[in-house]
Amino acid sequence: MSDSTYTPPKVWTWEQESGGQFASINRPVAGATHDKELPVGEHPFQLYSLATPNGVKVTVMLEELLAAGIKEAEYDAWLIKIGDGDQFGSGFVEINPNSKIPALHDRSGGEPVRVFESASILMHLAEKFGHFLPKDGSARTEVLNWLFWQMGSAPYLGGGFGHFYAYAPEKFEYPINRFTMEAKRQLDVLNRELATKTYIAGEEYSIADMAIWPWYGQLVLGRLYDAAEFLDVESYEHVMRWAKAIDARPAVQRGRMVNRAFGELSSQLRERHSAEDFETKTQDKLEAAE
């Protein structure tokens, strides 16, 4: 690891002790590693997730639907501890063969439907309930433009910049510079767009905002990678305005808490089964009752 150059072998082989914060859960093969059934609650939607940026997208969407009066969007949220390999359990792999959170089981119809990939879940819920995604026309296309922009761009932010800046076992100038340049370019894209409109796809809050905010909004608010100063996030004034406005939404504040197993204990609602859980079952209250 200390050598400044690396010569790839003719055929790559997996060395499990590869280092880095996520070395224990990254592997080059798919499929279940162990048998484990998933818990099931009483609500139409069963969410299996963790409050990473990708997980927060979906809990924000569900809380926004409930805040809009859509009672049919009630859900149970179960914690998937990715550091422990829960995503490789047989039950989880049945819902998402890609073994990534979030994964949703929609039991609201006659036949259960598995939904995986965060953008697919957002679209599924938006179309099912007719909220946060225009039904047709250019407005719908613009929301989808930005939804899929996020899906294509965020890996450069998370797996690229975030990994090499915050998680890699050693710091190397080349990858940090390479992905910092791209992260800042993406912030500039957002900043230029948000200079002329309230939300990323126009004047209406949409699933595009719900997809982008957990990554880029939380980045400029100083919640990702401890990198706000390094990226000079204050210079992206329009992104900052947008990020703060979304952060103030009560449904977003609740969505950030669901399946959260880190940070302040009062911000952690590791499982969510009813709206009352936000008042009675955050981790600080559960530990105080022990």
- Summarize pLDDT for 144-171 with one digit per residue, the tens: 999 999 999 999 999 999 999 999 999 9
Confidence at residue 26, expressed as pLDDT on a 0 to 100 scale? 83
Confidence at residue 250, expressed as pLDDT on a 0 to 100 scale? 98
Mean of the pLDDT values across residues 254-276? Answer: 98
pLDDT band for position 20 (cuts 50, 70, 90): low
Pick the range with the lowest mean pLDDT from 9-18, 89-98, 149-158, 228-237. 9-18
Mean pLDDT (the chain, rounded): 95
Confidence at residue 23, expressed as pLDDT on a 0 to 100 scale? 64
CA-based nearest residue to 254, from 122, 50, 56, 73: 56
The answer on pLDDT for 244 being more than 50 is: yes
Portion of the chain with pLDDT greater than 90, in percent: 92
Mean of the pLDDT values across residues 232-240? Answer: 98
Mean of the pLDDT values across residues 24-50? Answer: 94
Confidence at residue 18, expressed as pLDDT on a 0 to 100 scale? 60
